[in-house]
Amino acid sequence: MGRVQYDFSGERFVVTGASSGMGRAVAKELAAAGATVLAVARREDRLVALQNEFTGQIVPSALDVCDSKALSEAIASFVKTYGKLHGAVHAAGIFSSTPLRAYDEDEARKIMDISYWAGIRLMQIVNKKKNAEDGCSSVLFSSVAAAVGEKSNFAYSSAKIAMQAAVRSIAKEIYQRKNRINTISPGWVHTEMTRNEDENSALNKKFYDWHLLGIGEPEDVTGMVLFLLSERARWITGTDVVVDGGYLLGGYN
Amino acid sequence: MTEQEFIEKMQEEVLDTDSEIVLDMALTDVEEWDSLSFVSFIAMAKESGFTNVNREAVNKAVTIKDLYELVK
Residues of B in contact with A173 (CB under 8 A): 36
ipTM score of complex: 0.87
Residues of B in contact with A128 (CB under 8 A): 12, 16
CA atoms within 13 A on the CB side of A101: 1
Neighbours of A132 (CB within 10 A): 25
Chain A nearest-CA distance from B16, in A, is 6
Predicted local distance difference test score (pLDDT) of residue A204: 66
- Position A225 pLDDT exceeds 70: yes
Predicted local distance difference test score (pLDDT) of residue A237: 98
Contact B16 A128 (CB under 8 A): yes
Contact B36 A128 (CB under 8 A): no
Across the strands, what pairs with A38? Answer: A14, A59
Residues of A in contact with B14 (CB under 8 A): none
The span from the CA of A217 to the CA of A190, in Å, is 5
CA atoms within 13 A on the CB side of A26: 32
Chain B nearest-CA distance from A15, in A, is 23
Nearest chain B residue to A126 by CA distance is: B16
Question: Model's pTM, two decimal places?
Answer: 0.93
Q: Which band of pLDDT confidence, cut at 50, 70 and 90, is reported for residue A252?
A: confident
Q: Which band of pLDDT confidence, cut at 50, 70 and 90, is reported for residue A151?
A: confident
The pLDDT tens digits for A32-82 are 999 999 999 999 999 999 999 999 999 999 999 999 999 999 999 999 999
Tell me which residues of chain B have a C-beta less than 8 Å from any C-beta of chain A. 12, 16-18, 36
Contact B12 A173 (CB under 8 A): no
DSSP string across A152-177? T-HHHHHHHHHHHHHHHHHHHHHGGG
Among the listed ranges A76-80, A129-133, A198-202, B6-10, which one has the minimum average pLDDT value? A198-202
DSSP structural state of residue B10: I
Q: Where along chain A do its domains lie? A: 12-246
Domain that holds residue B22: 3-71
The span from the CA of A89 to the CA of A145, in Å, is 19
Stretch A173-191: mean pLDDT: 95
The span from the CA of A51 to the CA of A201, in Å, is 33
Stretch B7-29: mean pLDDT: 94
Residues A112 and A158: beta-carbon distance below 8 Å: yes
Cα B36 to Cα A123, A153, B15, B19, B43: the distances in Å are: 16, 36, 9, 17, 11
Residues of A in contact with B16 (CB under 8 A): 128-129
Q: Residues with Cβ < 8 Å from A66, sequence gap 6 or more?
A: A113, A114, A117, A118
- Position A205 pLDDT exceeds 80: no
The span from the CA of A107 to the CA of B59, in Å, is 44
DSSP structural state of residue A69: H
Residues for chain B: how many in total?
72
Beta-carbon contacts below 8 Å between A and B: 8
A208 alpha-carbon distance from chain centroid: 22
Q: What is the CATH number of the domain that holds B44?
A: 1.10.1200.10
Contact B12 A128 (CB under 8 A): yes
Q: Which band of pLDDT confidence, cut at 50, 70 and 90, is reported for residue B49?
A: very high
Judged by a CB distance cut-off of 8 A, whether residue A84 touches chain B is no
- Position A182 pLDDT exceeds 90: yes
Amino acid identity for residue A136 in this structure: C
Residue-averaged pLDDT of chain B: 95
The span from the CA of A187 to the CA of A118, in Å, is 22
Among 3.40.50.720, 3.20.20.70, 3.30.499.10, 3.40.710.10, name the CATH number for the domain at A12-246: 3.40.50.720
- What's the Rg (C-alpha) of chain A? 17
The span from the CA of A140 to the CA of A117, in Å, is 12
